[in-house]
Structure formats: C-alpha cells, structure tokens
Structure 1
C-alpha cells in the first residue's frame, strides 16, 4: 500500500470507547501500511488526540447536530492543510451525515466506503423488527415508546431493556427502574426510545465487512467474557460457530451492505435459537481483535475505498482473546490550548510542510 493519509473519527477512548482507536491500531498493525493517520475528534479531551503512536495529527470537527454544511466546510478546511485520501467515520450518530456528503467528499478526492442511506435506515433499532420479519430472522419483541405511560401499557415481563435510538441501554427489573432509565435516556438522547424483550442466554458479537453487492469480505465472531456496567465487552474470545457467520452473511446479503458492521446476537439458553439484537453500522470498539485473529478488516476497507480488489477472508484463528485495559495518557497544557484555540494538534507535519 502506497503512502496515504487516512482520517478516522471516534477517537474517544474513554470507559465506553469509540471504535476509532481500534481502527487505527488495526491499520498500524498491517505490515503493508505506510502512511499518515489523522484523528477527527469532537472534544479536545478525547484521549485519542494525545496518542502520538496512533495519530500524526488530530482535528476537531463539529457535532453531527450542527448539520451537513458546517461538517463539509470543516472537512474541506482540514483537507486543504492535511490532504486526506480515505475517511472512516465510526460513530452511529455521525454516519448519516457522512453518507449524505460522500459524493461531495469524493469530488474532493476523499474516498469513503459507506452503506446506502436506505440500508442504513432499514437496520436502525426502530426498524429492525420489520427487517427480521421479512428475512426470517428471530428478534426480541421490541416497541418504540414516546412516553413513560407507554411502558406501563405494554404490560411486558421484567427484566427488559430500555434503549436509546443510537446509544445506551439499561436492563430494568421493575417499573420504577424503567422510569429512572427512561428519564436518563430521554435527557441524553431524546425521544423515541425502545423497549426490548430480555433474552436469557449467551451473547455474541460479530465484526464484519460487506462489499456493497451482498458479498461478505470477512467476519469474525466473538463471545463476550466480561462486561462493563453498560453491558459493553471488556473481554471476549473468538469462537467457532458457523451459525453466527451464516446469520451475518444473510444480513449483509439482504441489505447489500457496503462497509463495516457489528452484529449482536443472543443465543437463547432454553430454545437455543439465535436472536438478532442489533446491527451497528460501523466497526465496534473491539475491532482490533479481527486482525489479531487473521482478518484485518479496517485495512481491507481502506483498499476497497481506493478501488482495489480484495479477496474474501476464508478463516480466522479460534480462541484469540482480547482484554481491554485503562491507561493514563500524558499531555502538556499547550496541547490542550492548540486544540481549543486552533482546533488541531499536529504531532507530525504532513509531507511538504516544515515541522
């Protein structure tokens, strides 16, 4: 791979990390990768800004709620000073904006590898049940709610999950707990929210990459071994389970999915049926497990974004384990000042610019 510049969002490596740092680690892991990586951050305090072994520079970009015009203007300004070859958005809330401006980015010479808007909306949490019904996939009973009273009138059995449309989910065991979760999620993400049946069993996640025609370039399933209080994976291990791969391929084919995705599946402990819980339209935070198991999906995405042919991965290493850890990153006050005042922090100047 020739020397190129890749921009990656989602470098908020906090207790509930974004996927950006995992994507960057995967790219750096490749022996073929030669080039520059810049981080696109929403907050000056995102830890990824200060990871010099991850990013050569980082730039602040506007929040998704500020709209397409401001986002495009920001990307153009960054591109003028630090030319980008490939841009990898990695957060749910920003993806629709990037999908809508991908043609304009292409005219600037910035390549992306993103799904169509229709497919993005079909796999959304509030549309997932309809998608599963059309494709004969088991899914937990899910209802869209706009008020606390809706939970009461649904008369569902506890425990159950209250979910935000983009992020966060709380398992609740009573109406009082549901009321608290409703208030927290409503304040953070607004309405509507989702109420989902709880499936008792083993949880599996699959990181995968679709080529846009219905074919699967790669898929690596893992079983969650340790969870945070938000039910996010803190540790996981790759497993040999053809049923998980089969369901993932079925989803990619039905959606003609282009780009990365994470499929969350629950295996019911009693019926042994597999239930589709979510389809997340981006790499998961744990995506570094994929190259560790033999499928460097972020690297494959970059090659495909640049128009190169990529062969599908046929296998992965079983029993490859990841364990997440917390680590302090050191920075100087002047680094924060650069981000807050100038909106950027450059560790290494792009070629052609003086250090």
Structure 2
C-alpha cells in the first residue's frame, strides 16, 4: 500500500506540474511552483511536464528540477498513461497538478490509474468540469441562481449577425478553451470568430457585454461543498488578451460569499477561478469559471493563503482547515525578462523528451 510522504521525517516530496508556459497568456504552472516552494521549503522536488520545448519554465533551473515532455491531449488517455508510468518509474511522483483546461478531461479519466501508480491528484469530476464549461455557463447560472450574462453558442460565422443584433455592441467573442475579445462592430466580431476558430476550434461563444470592474477570485474547494480558501483580486492592468498583468487583493464579503456559494452548489473539488464583472450597481456577474488555479495564484500565498500547498495536502489526505484571514492590498506586477540557455538543452528536450 502506498504511504504518503512525511516531510517532518525527512522524506522528500516530489510534485509534478504542467502549464509551464509563461508568455503574454501565461499558464499557472510557474506560479503554482513558486507557491509550493514557498510553502514546503527544503525537501521539495519539482518535475515539470511540458507539451512544447519552448515553455519558458522548463529552463528555470532554480524552480524546475527536471522536465519531461507529455503527448498532446489529442493523443488520448492511453498515451498519457503510458508516458506517466515511464516517468513515475524514474521519479516516484507523489502529487500531480494539471494546470491547463484542455488536459483536465484526460487527467480526470485516469485519476484512479494514477493513484495505483502512487500519484495523487485532487481534481474535479467530469460532471463538475462540464457544468461550468463556457457553453453551459448560462444554463448553470439559471440553475443555481447566479448572475451570468446572456450568451449564444455558435458554430458558423453566419450566425454572428443575428446574435449581434440581439445583444448589440460591444460584444464578447470567446474561444471554447481560452481567449476572449471585446468587439466593437461586426467586422471585429467576424475577425475574432475566425481567429478563435483557427486556434481553439468550434464552438465559439458570443456573450453580452457587461460594463464594470473586472475582478478575479482564486479558490480551493474540498469536494464536499466547503471552500478551503477564497482570495479576490481586482485587475489593475489588463493586456490586449484580457489577462491581468497587475492586480491587488481586495476585501469584499459579497465576493467571498459568491465563491463559497459556487463551491457549495457544485461541491467543487480542487482549485478554480471565477472571473467576475461588478457593474455600476454593484451586481456581480460570473463571466467564466476556470477549473484550475489561475496564473496569478502565487498572490494567494503572498496574501497568507497558500492554495497550491493546501491542494497538495488535500491530495495526500492530510487535514486542511478553512483559511479565513488574508492580507488585502497585496499587489502583483508581472514582468518579462530574458532567460539565457544553451541550445544543447533545447536539443536534448526535443530529441529525448526530458531535460
């Protein structure tokens, strides 16, 4: 029978993390790793799991101890399971934290197989994953009495005119996995549709625009209807892709209650992010529900609630109590810098699938 590691007795903990990209649309992986290192300190080994050879965190040797390439999610669960067994035979991974929406379905499907290998996870169910999907979000809001902007799911560009006439402009055009554009006219809407279709496939979601203040909430559910941690963050600087490049933790009981209501309604298991719009009247609209930690999750650790560390404890069956206190006014400001590496490292990962 597999025994969970006990850091107090000197046994090192090995955690595998995906989502190592860190471009202008960053994955959560590096932020998760930084939070884990802050939470566990010495005796922690981080295994990076990458899909592309140019995911920047691969080459940050002070953060990632070793990296292995994974087959793309489209290869299916069989290929993923075989590859993870190969890695597990070498690394003896204790906990695995997936950080991409598109890979979660496969990881959830092999969750029990991973546990038999000795790899613990703490993931939502397929049902939970589906009900918060962008294409189902409007219906989800009606069912649980959450404010969700009206939307239409479209499969052809010819449907845009009718929806635009119904909702007016500005109009939100969203990809089924990632990215969203605020369009101001029909030409912009068509352009955004084709761009998102080429990148993420169909369908595309057309959503009514809500004017207000953008707020994100990072949370962690225990799978039994309880919110272990909730941290609201107001965006201070937003990129062209709508991503927060700077933000600040805020204290607002309405936001915390909304996140707790979401966890209670779904019995959410694992990390999540609520993308919220607060209109001029103070009403809160759920724009999206992301089924994993956000790229700014390191801010939760800095504010006093280390969500990635708590998730690892939940995955290992360790007792975790609800975290209530955090410091408001904590800011993050993202930045870009050039990390210099030798081409031999890139070639080794490309040729052998590990670095």
Query: How would you bin the TM-score normalised by the shorter chain?
Result: over 0.9
C-alpha distance in 1 between matches for 2:79 and 2:247: 39
Tell me the equivalent position of 1:7. 16
Structure 2 contact 214–278 (Cα < 8 Å) conserved: yes
Tell me the equivalent position of 1:282. 292
Tell me the equivalent position of 2:352. 342
Tell me the equivalent position of 1:223. 234
Tell me the equivalent position of 2:305. 295
Structure 2 contact 246–334 (Cα < 8 Å) conserved: yes
Structure 1 contact 5–86 (Cα < 8 Å) conserved: yes
Tell me the equivalent position of 1:21. 30
Tell me the equivalent position of 1:327. 337
Count residues in correspondence: 344
Deviation at 1:258, TM superposition (A): 0.4
C-alpha distance in 1 between matches for 2:15 and 2:335: 26
C-alpha distance in 2 between matches for 1:31 and 1:212: 23
The unaligned stretches of length 5 or more in structure 1 are: 346-355
SS of 2:119's equivalent in the other structure is: coil
* Alpha-carbon displacement from aligned partner over 1:211-246 (angstroms, at most 9, x marks no partner): 000000001001000001101000000001111110
Deviation at 1:32, TM superposition (A): 5.1
Tell me the equivalent position of 1:105. 114
SS of 1:322's equivalent in the other structure is: strand
* Alpha-carbon displacement from aligned partner over 1:183-224 (angstroms, at most 9, x marks no partner): 111111111110001110001001000000000000100100
C-alpha distance in 1 between matches for 2:190 and 2:118: 49
Tell me the equivalent position of 2:252. 241
1:69-218 equivalences in 2 (<5 Å): 69-154=78-163, 155=165, 156-218=167-229
C-alpha distance in 2 between matches for 1:327 and 1:192: 35
Tell me the equivalent position of 1:348. none
C-alpha distance in 2 between matches for 1:317 and 1:229: 29
Structure 1 contact 210–260 (Cα < 8 Å) conserved: yes
Tell me the equivalent position of 1:66. 75
* Alpha-carbon displacement from aligned partner over 1:99-134 (angstroms, at most 9, x marks no partner): 001010001110000011101100101111111111
C-alpha distance in 2 between matches for 1:15 and 1:189: 17
Query: Normalized against structure 1, the TM-score is what?
Result: 0.95
Deviation at 1:254, TM superposition (A): 0.7
SS of 1:278's equivalent in the other structure is: strand
SS of 1:344's equivalent in the other structure is: coil
C-alpha distance in 2 between matches for 1:158 and 1:272: 22
* Alpha-carbon displacement from aligned partner over 1:140-193 (angstroms, at most 9, x marks no partner): 111100111211112221001110110111110111111111111111111111
Give the helix-richer structure, 1 or 2. Answer: 2
C-alpha distance in 2 between matches for 1:101 and 1:123: 21
C-alpha distance in 2 between matches for 1:32 and 1:235: 26
C-alpha distance in 2 between matches for 1:339 and 1:324: 27
Q: CA RMSD in A?
A: 0.9
* Alpha-carbon displacement from aligned partner over 1:35-79 (angstroms, at most 9, x marks no partner): 200100011111111001111001110111111111111111111
The unaligned stretches of length 5 or more in structure 2 are: 1-5
Deviation at 1:34, TM superposition (A): 2.4
Query: Normalized against structure 2, the TM-score is what?
Result: 0.95
